[in-house]
Structure 1
Amino acid sequence: MNAVHPDGQVVMVVEDELLVATTLEAALEDGGYRVLGPVATVPAAIGLLRTSPPDMALIDYRLAATTTETLLASLKSRHIPVCVLTGCGASQLPPAYTGLTVLEKPVRTRTLMATLNRIASTNSPHAVE
């Protein structure tokens, strides 16, 4: 089984609910990740992608009156692994989200960290045997 050393791993957080965003940020930092953001809009996230590409992204499906589908296309084109947070079930997401890791809100910190560690170990040069 691979173990990951998240130090140095950068996770972009895209979440429009301030309390959720700050909770995610604290959990990620406590888990050894560096946080890019959090940001609350797709344009802000795309701006971050241009200047500071992350190792992976943790994105909310719905931001206010819009979705992150446009952002998802940008992340996929850059081969950045994505974990989607949503208040609805994975089966209710549009086809663009098929095959992605989806966590339903509210998500337990332990579940979130295990999921991100799995993504990081699959996609990271920091993974070790």
Structure 2
Amino acid sequence: MNAAHPDGPVVMVVEDELLVAATLEAALEDGGYHVLGPVATVSAAIGLLRTSQPDVALIDYRLATTTTETLLPSLKSRHIPVCVLTGYGASQLPAAYAGLTVLEKPFRIHTLMAALNKITI
């Protein structure tokens, strides 16, 4: 955990839907997390990782015309736990997402918080 941050654990949010991103940001901040982002592209997320070390990453599976699969190696190499948000079932995701925490959209905020608490411990 990034104990040096006064606002609590740092969550990097990668979500391309503006309303969803804003809702996540507000809910996370209300839940005691510091939000890094949100960003809407893999390249922007990689840019954040160049200068920051989040405690956990909350990533949408599909971003506009691509997926976040190319972001996974960077997160894994830095030992950053990942929670994947998706409209697909967990069994429909590529093998690269196996073993990650997956929340199917739509989900309730308390379910998100429980998942984040579980993987940041």
Establish whether TM, by shorter chain, passes 0.5.
Answer: yes
Q: Say which one has the larger Rg.
A: 1
1:56-90 per-position Cα deviation (integer Å, ceiling 9, x unaligned): 00000000000001111110111100000000000
Residue 35, structure 1, aligned to residue 45, structure 2 = no
TM-score, length basis structure 1: 0.87
Q: Report how many residues are paired.
A: 116
Q: Provide structure 2 residue ranges, at least 5 long, that are not aligned to the other structure.
A: 1-6
Residue 115, structure 1, aligned to residue 115, structure 2 = yes
Q: In 2, distance between residues paired with 1:83 and 1:57?
A: 6
Query: Shift of residue 8 of structure 1?
Result: 2.1
Percent identity of paired positions between Structure 1 and Structure 2: 84
Q: Provide structure 1 residue ranges, at least 5 long, that are not aligned to the other structure.
A: 1-6, 122-129
User: Helix, strand or coil for the counterpart of 1:11?
Assistant: strand
Q: In 1, distance between residues paired with 2:86 and 2:72?
A: 14
User: Helix, strand or coil for the counterpart of 1:13?
Assistant: strand
**What is the alpha-carbon root mean square deviation over aligned residues?**
1.1
Query: Shift of residue 43 of structure 1?
Result: 0.2
TM-score, length basis structure 2: 0.93
Aligned to 1:100: 100
Residue 63, structure 1, aligned to residue 95, structure 2 = no
Aligned to 1:126: none
